[in-house]
Structure 1
Amino acid sequence: MSSIADNIGSVTRRIQKATLQSGREPDSVHLLAVSKTRPADDLIAAYAAGQKAFGESYLQEALDKIQALSGKADIEWHFIGPVQSNKTRQIAESFAWVHSVDRLKIARRLNEQRPEALPALNICLQVNINNETSKSGCRLDDLDNLIAEIGQLPKLSLRGLMAIPDPEQSETDLRKSFRTLATALRKLQRDHPDAGPLDTLSMGMSDDLEAAIAEGATWVRVGSALFGSRPAKRSQS
């Protein structure tokens, strides 16, 4: 069985190869280790192998791991799951990034509850790129209005867009979904130059990171290729 360190090396090489083949700068794509449902020991092993950015979806589980790894101050915690209104305070207080902001109410709460002592909270707007009823995310048509409003919130740094395309698509359609998100980001950069850095595309996972990188991903969110098959889903909060 491969170790977590071996898996990180393998995924890193995949990212580097895909980045090179796409004609992009070597350090333009970052690996986010999706550590939801994983025990703290797995994160410690990944950290020992050089991984510093971890993505969590379940708040209480994440807070327990943040506490367990509190001595490792250079870890960067990313919240990547649906954001519930009653959880925004702890998310605003505990994370450096939130990839899954999908409505103005959530953005406003995160802004109001971000502690003054912390730097601006990096956020991405989650787009329901294939209009799936089972998934969170705003519509592409909503982005202009959201960007205009969120750009006025001083404790948020609007970094870009996130999507989870339908995995049942053909490779051609999957590439099209990634390309649609990248095109939307370029339009926002052009139309809202003062809204925030708008430099981030969070898209691509274990099975499709090469396609995502080819279409412009800057963060790829990888879980199973690093940690193995995910344990059976259990109730989380």
Structure 2
Amino acid sequence: MSDDMMIGTRIQEVRAAIEAARTRRTHVPAETPVELIAVTKNHPVEAMQAAIDAGIMNIGENRVQEALDKAQTLGRAVKWHLIGHLQTNKVKHAVRQFDLIHSVDSLRLAREIDKAAEKLGKVQNILVQVNLAREESKSGVYREDLDEILAVIDELPSIRLQGFMCIAPNYEDVEECRPLFRAMYELFQQVKAHAPHTADIRYLSMGMTHDYEIAVEEGANLVRVGTAIFGARQYALGV
């Protein structure tokens, strides 16, 4: 089987697993759709093209420059998601390239995105990254600081809050992710019910290759999957 066919087969397998996870939901409406983001960090444009040809519409990249380089030769229409940490000196390039920035983790970053979007005449859709597990190794807003950042975002005219992103700890037993994902869904629902007037709360981005099925069971409607689609990342010098 060719590499392109393998990518298509893996996408079908991931989609089937997502649908099965939806049927196992107990506290989330089963009909709530789930969008699959193919995470293409360190994978070549040819693999991305094969995934898109197999039905992928959402591409996730961790680094701004890598996305900019790939976009020049991709030759496909997709929705671009920035899922990695965003440095303030890359904000203007990120706003130009990405449809949805998942990783807004500070007031400073939110304000910089707003400024860059205003200059481009764009309203930039964002997610706030929440660090519910309080892992020092990960970015994200702590729960006790979330209300403040949401209030500030509500006053920034060139960004639109569309939900939240979280990354679970890399537990050896993946079931240990479940309480965190459930707590994140509850937080998502709370904010959605009392959304700031400029917000459009619709996305809960959580779950990666090792834990996306549990994330879907617990309420995720965006999942970020790379290895299960493309195999191990292909690291190259200079990437």
TM-score by structure 1 length? Answer: 0.91
State how 1:1-237 maps to structure 2 within 5 Å: 3-22=6-25, 24-26=29-31, 28-69=33-74, 71-72=75-76, 74-114=77-117, 119-168=122-171, 170-232=173-235
Number of equivalenced pairs: 234
Q: The residue matched to 1:3 in structure 2 has which SS?
A: helix
Once residues 93 and 199 of structure 2 are traced to their aligned partners in structure 1, the CA distance between those partners, rounded to angstroms, is 23
**Cα 1:66–1:26, aligned 2, differ >3 Å: closer, same or farther?**
farther
Q: Residue 106 of structure 1: CA displacement?
A: 0.8
Structure 1: where are the runs of 5+ without partners? Answer: none
Equivalent residue letter for 1:120: V
Identity, in percent, stands at 37
**Cα 1:235–1:112, aligned 2, differ >3 Å: closer, same or farther?**
same
Equivalent residue letter for 1:231: Q
1:51-104: CA deviations, max 9, x gaps? 1110001121110111112x42x3111111101010000001111010000001
Cα-Cα RMSD = 2.0
Q: The residue matched to 1:24 in structure 2 has which SS?
A: coil
Once residues 125 and 155 of structure 2 are traced to their aligned partners in structure 1, the CA distance between those partners, rounded to angstroms, is 14
Q: Residue 19 of structure 1: CA displacement?
A: 1.3
Decide whether the 8 Å contact of 2:59 with 2:78 is kept in 1: yes
Decide whether the 8 Å contact of 1:147 with 1:192 is kept in 2: no
Once residues 234 and 96 of structure 1 are traced to their aligned partners in structure 2, the CA distance between those partners, rounded to angstroms, is 28
**Cα 1:45–1:115, aligned 2, differ >3 Å: closer, same or farther?**
farther
Structure 2: where are the runs of 5+ without partners? Answer: none
**Cα 1:141–1:110, aligned 2, differ >3 Å: closer, same or farther?**
same
Once residues 160 and 69 of structure 2 are traced to their aligned partners in structure 1, the CA distance between those partners, rounded to angstroms, is 26
Decide whether the 8 Å contact of 2:32 with 2:221 is kept in 1: no
Which shifted more, 12-21 or 167-176? Answer: 167-176
Equivalent residue letter for 2:39: V
Once residues 35 and 10 of structure 2 are traced to their aligned partners in structure 1, the CA distance between those partners, rounded to angstroms, is 15
Q: Residue 20 of structure 1: CA displacement?
A: 2.4
Q: Residue 107 of structure 1: CA displacement?
A: 1.0
